[in-house]
Amino acid sequence: MKNSGLFRFIPAKLPGVFRSLWNCHIYAYANIRQGVTAMLEEFGPNIWIANGSTVTAAAGFRYPTRMAVIRLANGDLVLWSPAELSDELHAAVRALGAVRYLAPPNSLHHTFLGDWQQAYPEARVYAPPGLREKRKDIRFDGDFSDGPIEAWAEQIDFSIMWGNRITTEVIFFHRESRTAIFTDLIQQFPPGWFKGWRSLIARLDLMVAAEPSVPRKFRAAFTDRRAARASIQHVLAWPTEKVLMAHGEPVSRDGRAFIHRSFRWLINK
Ligand SMILES: [Fe+2]
């Protein structure tokens, strides 16, 4: 694993316990897969979600996964954080339209990207910051950092959360359903998801807080807070009603107020 280059992304200043937890998180996307991918569930007009397989990390930390499918006005599909490509999921996606865009949202959620690109070689793949360097086997057709994507702009906006040493996440906004889509920056695991000492670490990291929260390891890893504040102000300008995240139950209303609470520690300093 040390040869993979991933370790250079580990923030040097993180306290030991969070550093261990961070190691666990990156392992999650390279190791064991469990369970069967569920069918797509309608989340709003022209947006669907699927709960993917559970991945198990080093030291036994387990993570649920989630992907989203957005249908553009012309019927083309955008796949956010593509999950494990099962026959069932493949059929469900195909029934919605043509897969034209693959959108990995950060440099961590890319394990299944190659399978989807193989299935849909004509789909355009956009790179979040840091992913091109990690996945040289993937053909990328553009970068989120280059600015708006013309083909989506009327339906989907995005903000890049700069200034974090763990990963640079692209936060999306689906205008029609007023849904903001986070990946790892906001998380909430169900009560009892982790057991024993893992439960303690998850509590310390705010992974199992009363409402979805920014884990402490991510807070500590924001080294350019001015850049991060500008990014979150872009997010707060959206009229967000609902919030999706990769690891946690969606927020169904008052999304903008929820996001403001989640990032109060950043905004108010
Ligand atoms: Fe994740």
> 108 CA distance to ligand 1 centroid (A)?
7
> 176 CA distance to ligand 1 centroid (A)?
25
- Of 112, 122, 45, the residue nearest 85 (C-alpha): 112
* Token digits of residue 74: 């012309």
The domain spans of the chain are 2-139+155-267
> 58 CA distance to ligand 1 centroid (A)?
14
Residues with CB under 5 A from ligand 1 (ion): 184, 246
pTM of the model: 0.87
Per-residue pLDDT of the chain (269 residues; tens, 9 = 90+): 333 333 334 444 555 555 555 544 543 344 334 443 348 999 999 999 999 888 876 677 788 889 999 999 999 999 999 999 999 999 999 999 999 999 999 999 998 999 999 999 999 999 999 999 999 999 999 999 989 999 999 999 999 999 999 999 999 999 999 999 999 999 999 988 999 999 999 999 999 888 999 999 999 999 999 999 999 999 999 999 999 999 999 999 999 999 999 999 999 87
> 25 CA distance to ligand 1 centroid (A)?
7
> 127 CA distance to ligand 1 centroid (A)?
16
The C-alpha atoms of residue 77 and residue 71 are separated, in whole angstroms, by 5
3-state secondary structure of 170: strand
Pair 101, 77: CB distance under 8 Å: yes
The C-alpha atoms of residue 4 and residue 15 are separated, in whole angstroms, by 23
The C-alpha atoms of residue 120 and residue 52 are separated, in whole angstroms, by 19
Under CATH, which architecture does the 2-139+155-267 domain have? 4-Layer Sandwich (3.60)
